[in-house]
Chains A and B, each alone.
Chain A
Amino acid sequence: MSEELIVHGIEWTVKELFVYPNEYIYWSIQIVMYPYMTGLVAGAFVLSSLYHVFGQKQLKEIAQFSLVFSLALLPVAALPLLLHLQQPTRAMEPLLTPHFTSAIAAFGIVFTAYALIVLSEIWFVYREYFVAQAHVLKGEPGLANAMSRIVYRVLTIGAYDVSEEALRVDKKAATILAAIGIPVACFLHGYAGFIFGSVKANALWMSPLMPVIFIMSAVVSGIALCMLTYIIIMEWQAFRRRRKGSGVEASEIKGAEKETINQATRYLLGFLIAAISLEMLDLIFRGYTAMKSWDILRSVMYGKDFVNIFVLQYTLGNLVPFVLLILPGRTLKRTVLALLLVLFGVFMMRWNVVIGGQAFSLSFSGYMHYEIPIIPHSLETFKEGLFGALTVIATPFVLFWIINKFVPSLRRDAHKS
């Protein structure tokens, strides 16, 4: 088969019974990653806002971290879309000629607005620190320090006023931005749900509940990822300190952590309950109304995708972590396990929506199976395969590592300097 004959989707789609000739799994792993990553961004931001807006003091530490982490996640929400486009060089067109009857057209605008909010909130929160660094590094020897100082001077954007009055204004601005950010974050993700929920041709996707379900599970996954990363980083730092022999400080940190984790867990459970309730409502409603598409939907949900939906998503990804988190005597290890399962559960939910929605033919007379490309043999099988997805997952951590160098989001880092 010559290169130009490779039809998009043919390499990972297996058809069964009658499927229209042009039907393939056109939206594959990257479109699973897209709502997943967007959800993490939105969730991380909501977690940070719980402190900034609602004054949840116990969340102060994780809130700071979540805010910076949501910035690291932000570009990665757009990355899967870019990797998925057949014409990636035209990726800016939705911004240049947006066609507003399309849900995707709003992406550029919502995404940009959201990015500006996150960036400016971080700027207001960290401005004092930037100014301090610009002063501290002044006259320090070495090229690295000189370079750092230039970066910090650029980051201040010339606002060196750190009087009490100015800092008060900073704080107020950050709070206002965090407050505006919550609806925008929800909108960013809710509309990702709308992209799917409004496809009337797709029997599984079409549901007005879709945006709400997406928002709830987004917050769940965002909180889970922030908690997990926070625990791992803090534990790693405590571990390193212990090895250096300053045990007192390490135990101090651990106490603070527990309180933060407890509070965050409470929010996590709340949103998890909301997400599951809505999903159950959707499922029951479909079964009860039993529209034309129900026969094929039922055969997919209770048959072909049973393990994916009921075992992996609902049991392993929702029920088990729920029990793990709610049982008394929770340890940090158990929390980590529960958080990993929650993240897995939300990923499976995205998978079951995106891939599950394409598991049956528009003719309702056949099925399509998605075989994710593992070993890539072309750019396409890399992008829309396992390694493309892993690239997307790894990117926010790399970005966070870089951003955190200049915007220390964990108390320990800030103390160091």
Chain B
Amino acid sequence: MTCSRRDFLKEAVGGTLVSALPLSAFVFITTDEAKAAIADSKVRWAFLVDTTKCVGCGLCVKACKTENEIPYDAAVTRTWVERYVVTKDGQTHIDSPMGGRDGYTTDLIRDEEIEPEDIDKAFFVPKLCNQCDNPACVQVCPVGATYKTNDGIVLVDRDWCIGCGYCIMACPYGVRFFHPEHKVADKCNFCYHRISKGMEPACVECCSFGARRLANLRDPDDPVTKIITTERVAVLKDEYGTKPHVFYIGLDANVR
């Protein structure tokens, strides 16, 4: 086959034009345009956990599993309650059987009986997704299936997640898991379907002790926001630089 330079150029230009035609169907937008399209939200969801009020009944875990259709008996959960028992010998005993779903009704910690007189202090710590401002899970998702909404919630697109587990590995808080039925990454989203309609998350609604509360940080009149901004609150594992947005009252140095 012979091909003169002129022929080659002709064909090349023609081919490029033909293949470029379908590309013109796409619209290229600048970063500013994209930002303008999403518009800043008037909402930044956050969460306040008052550990001093939690009694470890596990009702929040039950409600969460039911509301968010996480198989009830599967050993994964979007939210859980940890029990801490610090004994006089300086040991910290921690457990969370089935995420504390059935409540803490026995003194046994992993089949170990601890005498009440040996205990220095004991408390419960509810855990859930921290909806980080700088979420490690979103950073590592290879396909962009998990993303942060402009009101601060990190969501998972079940139709696009490839199930590689990188986000599960990247989360320092261990809140992510593979959904046993959908076979994709799953996590707490503060009941996004509820809060975006003005309702409370399931765990907040069912907590009889007020240990769990939802806040909108962009609303200065929000009573929970007032607590977060004016009282002494702490976050979990801030050393990872993820900027978590679940704030805790009464956090202990032993909490992991």
A interface residues (Cβ-Cβ under 8 A, vs B): 1, 4-10, 17-18, 20-24, 26-27, 81, 84-87, 90-91, 93-94, 96-99, 101-105, 107, 158, 195, 198-202, 292, 361-365
Contact = CB atoms under 8 A, between A and B. Distances in A.
Interface string B84-128: 000000001011101100000000001000000000000000010
Contacts of B94: 18, 363, 365
B168 A26 contact: yes
Most buried by A among B76, B77, B162, B172: B162
A212 B94 CA distance: 38
Contacts of B224: none
B74 interface: yes
Among A24, A84, A91, the most chain B Cβ lie within 10 Å of the Cβ of A24
Contacts of B168: 22, 26
Greatest chain B CB density within 10 A among A23, A90, A107, A361 is at A90
Nearest to A18: B94
B240 interface: yes
Interface in B168-183: 168-178, 180-181, 183
| Most A C-beta atoms less than 10 A away, residue of B96, B142, B162 | B142
A4 B183 CA distance: 9
A94 B92 CA distance: 43
B215 interface: no
A362 B239 CA distance: 13
Interface in B121-164: 127, 136, 138-145, 160-164
Main SS at interface, chain A: loop
Contacts of B7: none
B76 A101 contact: no
Contacts of B241: 200
B162 A90 contact: yes
A87 B172 contact: no
Contacts of A6: 180
B142 A200 contact: no
Interface size classification for chain B: 35 or more
A201 B181 CA distance: 26
Interface string B177-195: 1101101100000000000
Given A7-B74, A102-B141, A363-B94, A200 B172 contact: yes
10 contacts: A1-B73, A7-B76, A18-B256, A21-B75, A99-B144, A104-B166, A107-B142, A200-B136, A200-B241, A201-B136
B250 interface: no
Contacts of A23: 174
A10 B76 CA distance: 10
A201 B110 contact: no
Contact of B178 (A26, A101, A365): A26
Contacts of B74: 5, 7
Contact of B180 (A8, A21, A292): A8
Contact of A94 (B76, B162, B170): B162
A201 B172 contact: yes
B38 interface: no
A288 B184 CA distance: 40
Given A202-B169, A365-B94, 6 more contacts: A91-B162, A103-B140, A200-B172, A201-B169, A201-B240, A362-B173
A105 B143 contact: yes
B164 A22 contact: no
Contact of A4 (B136, B165, B181): B181
A10 B166 contact: no
Contacts of B142: 93-94, 98-99, 102-105, 107
Nearest to B83: A18
A317 to B, nearest CB: 25
A178 B240 CA distance: 41
B80 interface: yes
B141 to A, nearest CB: 6
B170 A199 contact: yes
A22 B180 contact: no
A341 B78 CA distance: 44
Which among A20, A90, A98, A362 has the highest number of chain B CB atoms within 10 Å? Answer: A20
B164 A201 contact: no
A362 B82 CA distance: 14
A87 B183 contact: yes
A22 B176 contact: yes
Contacts of A90: 143, 160-163
Contacts of B162: 85-87, 90-91, 93-94
Contacts of A200: 136, 170, 172, 240-241
Contacts of B138: 101
- The residue in A22, A87, A199, A202 that gathers the most chain B C-beta atoms within 10 A of its C-beta is A22
A362 B76 contact: no
Given A7-B75, A26-B168, A362-B173, A94 B163 contact: no
Nearest to A158: B1
B166 A7 contact: no
Contact of B144 (A18, A91, A97): A97
Given A17-B110, A105-B142, A363-B256, A7 B163 contact: no
B210 interface: no
Contacts of B178: 7-9, 26, 86
Contact of A97 (B71, B143, B165, B177): B143
A104 B74 CA distance: 29
